[in-house]
Amino acid sequence: MRKILIPTDFSETSMNAIEYALELFKYDKCEFIIMNAFADEVYNNTMEMDREFFEEFKEKYRTSVENQLQKEVAIMLKRTSNPRHAYNFEARFGSIVDEANQIVERDNIDIVVMGTKGKTQDKDITFGSITLQVIKYVKCPVLAVPVGFHGAPPKNILFPTDYMVPFNRRALKLLSTMAKSFVANINMLFISEFKQRSHRQEDNRAFLDSCFNDNKVEFTQTPGKDITEGINKVLNEKEFDMLVMVNQRHSYLENILYHSTIEKIGLEIKIPFLVMNNLHR
C-alpha cells in the first residue's frame, strides 16, 4: 500500500492539492494521512497567557483542528468513493517540517503532497515559504501542486538532470509507476554546452534507462550554461504537466534552494513540481 502524507491548512490551496492527489493515485492502493501542524497558531494567540490557560487553549485548539480534519476527510470521501483508498488524519502540535518528518519516518511515507501558492504578484516568487521549507528539509519525495493548476494527471513529464548525482531507486520507481498509470512520457532533459558526457554521467543515464524500462522515455540535450534559463525556456516552449527534479548534496537544485534568496529561485513553475529528495532517510 502506498502511503501519502498531505499537510493541510484548510485552504483552497490545500484542497486543490488533495483533489490532485486523489486523481493522481486513483489506480493505486493508498493510505492518505491528512495532517495539520498547529503550534504556530497556538503560540501566536497565547503570547501573554498564563501556562494554565495556555494548556487549556492548546487542547481546545487541537479539538477544533481535529474537527476540521474530519470535515476535510468527509469531503474526500464524498468526492471519491475509491475502494483502493483509506483515509486518516492527525492534528500535530509542532512545526510542519518536524511533524512531517516524524510521520515520514514512523509510517515509511512514499510521498508528501502539498499545495503551494504558485506565482504571486511578485513575479520572482515561485513558492510560499512553508512549501519551500518542506521541499528543502522533509526527507521524502515532495509534490508541490500550484493552486492555479487544475489539470488532469500527467501526460508529459519534464525531468531535467545533469546525470552527475546518483538516483534513489525507490523514488524513481514511484515516478515510473505514476507515469505508467497514465501512459505519460518522461522527457529527460540534459542542459550542457558539452556534447560528450563523462563515464559517471553515462553510468547514471544507463541506470535511469533501466529504472524506466516500462515507460515511454525520451532523452534530449539542449546547449546552454544557465540551467534555470534552459528549464524555463523548455517549459515555455512545450506543454508539460509535471516537473521532476532531484534534491541531492551538490546538485543544481540544492544550489538554487540553499543559495538563492528564500522563495526567489528563478524557476517559473506553474505545474505540479515533484522533488525527489536523495537526502539521508
> How confident is residue 119, by pLDDT bands cut at 50, 70 and 90?
very low
As a whole number of Å, the CA-based R_g of the chain is: 20
Identify the band that residue 54 occupies on the pLDDT scale cut at 50, 70 and 90: very high
* Kind of pairing between the strands at 156-160 and 142-146: unpaired
Per-residue pLDDT, 23:
94
Q: Give the position of cell 499545495.
A: 115
Q: pLDDT tens for residues 249-268?
A: 545 555 555 544 334 445 66
Dist CA 90 CA 25 (whole Å): 21
In which band, very low, low, confident or very high, does the pLDDT at 164 lie, cut at 50, 70 and 90? confident
Q: How many CB atoms lie within 10 A of CB 37?
A: 23
Confidence check: pLDDT of 127 > 70: no
Q: Which of 54-58, 78-82, 192-196, 270-274 has the lowest mean pLDDT?
A: 192-196
Q: What share of the chain is helix, strand, coil (3-state, %, to 5)?
A: 40, 20, 35
Cβ contact 115:84 at 8 Å: no
Query: Which pLDDT score is estimated for 264?
Result: 45
Q: Is the dihedral of CA 117, 118, 122, 124 positive or negative?
A: positive
247 class by beta-carbon count within 10 Å (0-12 exposed, 13-18 middle, 19+ buried)? buried
158 strand-pairing partners: 187, 243
> Which residue has better confidence, 133 or 274?
274
